[in-house]
């Protein structure tokens, strides 16, 4: 097994353009590395200390099926984006979903649509919460932080490998297509806008039907242009002097309300 240039691996972690052009990203640490299918792994690097540690068993399948290169602790530190590397680093292929119809598949849509989420921790938390709440897919615009950046990947705690997601050029056209049933065989998807000028309490909506919830930028919220395309605006009522919730928290609260309703219906 022949490894890649160390400089390329560092660029892969630091530059979105390198990730976009190569179609690769980096997974650092045994918890997520153990979930990577062998056919999606390009290179696997481990230290001798890792191979002799209990954590090696978490990645036994990957190491056996893909093989690996042994590097020194110093080399691992050079390649890793973390202060304290955990002894295994994987260069993996990005997952490509070809279009919104493929993202939805044959599931009853419960989608999150993200407009220009900038904080890696927020995006990672949203993906993690989306998986926990049973969200069937996440759609985001190009201005949203790169989902394959190391900080986002780490904060998803593995959800990036399990939650279907798609980046689109035009969220407006996406919303219009969803509402028209263009991606669901003619069945309209009800699109809701989480907005400070919300018309209804978010719990008053029916999330058991095919639906999508739009979440906006951390500081500006959802743009009026996108909110105006929605079927309805929803608001999370709050006490005290708090004006709004963190984007990830708002997405989580709404997603779990949808999960609650669907669980009761089932």
Q: What is the pLDDT of residue 109?
A: 97
Q: Quote the CA–CA distance of 146 and 151 in Å, as a whole number.
A: 10
Tell me if residue 148 falls in helix, strand or coil: coil
Torsion of CA 63, 65, 67, 68, to 10 degrees: -30
Residue 48 pairs in a beta bridge with: none
Tell me 55's DSSP state: G
Tens of each residue's pLDDT in the chain, 266 residues: 456 778 899 999 999 999 999 999 999 999 999 999 999 999 999 999 999 999 999 999 999 999 999 999 999 998 998 888 999 999 999 998 999 999 999 999 999 999 999 999 999 999 999 999 999 999 999 999 999 999 999 999 999 999 999 999 999 999 999 999 999 999 999 999 999 887 899 999 999 999 999 999 998 999 999 999 999 999 998 887 666 678 999 999 999 999 999 999 87
Q: Given this model, what pLDDT does residue 243 score?
A: 67
Pairwise CA distance, residues 84 & 71, whole Å:
15
Q: Tell me how long the chain is.
A: 266
Q: What is the pLDDT of residue 1?
A: 46
Q: Are 220 and 112 in contact (CB under 8 A)?
A: no
- In sequence order, the 6+-apart residues with CB closer than 8 A to the CB of 3 are 43, 45, 69
Counting runs of H as helices and runs of E as strands, what totals does the chain give?
12, 11
Domains and CATH numbers, the chain: 6-93 (3.30.1330.30), 100-265 (3.40.1280.10)
């Amino acid at each position: 097994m022949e490894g890649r240039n160390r400089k390329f691996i560092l660029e892969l972690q630091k530059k979105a353009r390198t990730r976009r052009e190569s179609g690769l990203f980096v997974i650092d640490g045994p918890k997520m590395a153990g979930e990577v299918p062998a056919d999606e792994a390009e290179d696997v690097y481990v230290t001798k200390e890792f191979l002799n540690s209990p954590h090696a068993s978490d990645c036994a399948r990957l190491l056996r099926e893909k093989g690996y290169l042994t590097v020194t602790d110093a080399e691992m530190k050079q390649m890793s984006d973390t202060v304290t590397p955990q002894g295994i680093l994987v260069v993996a292929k990005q997952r490509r979903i070809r279009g919104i119809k493929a993202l939805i598949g044959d599931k009853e849509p419960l989608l999150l649509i993200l407009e220009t989420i900038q904080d890696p921790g927020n995006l990672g938390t949203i993906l993690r919460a989306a998986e926990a709440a049973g969200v069937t897919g996440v759609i985001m615009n190009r201005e949203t932080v790169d989902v394959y950046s190391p900080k986002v990947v780490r904060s998803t705690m593995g959800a990036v490998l399990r939650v279907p997601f798609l980046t689109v050029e035009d969220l407006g056209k996406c919303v219009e297509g969803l509402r028209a049933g263009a991606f669901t065989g003619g069945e309209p998807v009800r699109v809701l806008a989480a907005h400070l000028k919300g018309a209804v309490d978010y719990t008053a909506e029916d999330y058991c039907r095919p639906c999508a919830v739009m979440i906006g930028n951390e500081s500006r919220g959802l743009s009026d242009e996108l909110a105006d395309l929605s079927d309805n605006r929803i608001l999370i009522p709050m006490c005290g002097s708090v004006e709004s919730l963190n984007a990830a928290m708002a997405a989580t609260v709404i997603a779990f309300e949808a999960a609650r309703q669907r669980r009761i219906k089932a």
